[in-house]
Structure 1
Amino acid sequence: MTHQLLVKQGTVNGIAVKILLDSGADHNVLRKRLPAQVLTQKKAVAEGFDGSVTDPQWINEVNADITFEGEAMGFPI
């Protein structure tokens, strides 16, 4: 069986990006270099499939204008 990633073209605040679709994800992630309006900041940890956990890190909840296959979406990420 071959596993393939579902990657589509889109934009984040007018910047062309590749969007990885992950229907099982709890959260969405943007690169820090992409401009976005910060809504809140909090500390969070990431847990791997093997149960390993990262040290707490500051993360931002942001608001961004996203287009995906020509459809505009705006929501906190």
Structure 2
Amino acid sequence: MEILLWLVPSVVVTVVAMLWVAWAGREGRGEVDREVAVRRLASALEPDPTRRRRPAPGYAAPRASRDRSTGVAVRPSRRAS
């Protein structure tokens, strides 16, 4: 049990930090006006005209199929001479 005593300082610091953060953040950021919030949401949802539009992904070329790796290295068999 004595070997666990070295954990006490870190536990105390962690608990104090948790209590400080809970106390400091209890008031929050305050009330936001509903109209301001709606305006911010609308501007965030509108497309940005300065942003270049990306073309839709095309599927003209088939994707190359890769061999699935099983995680086991297998040597090729030797030819019988």
Question: Is TM-score (shorter-chain normalized) higher than 0.5?
Answer: no
Q: Which has the higher contact order (CA 8 A, sep 6+)?
A: 1
TM, length-normalised to structure 2: 0.17
- State the structure with more CA Rg: 2
Bigger helix fraction: 2
TM, length-normalised to structure 1: 0.17
Bigger strand fraction: 1
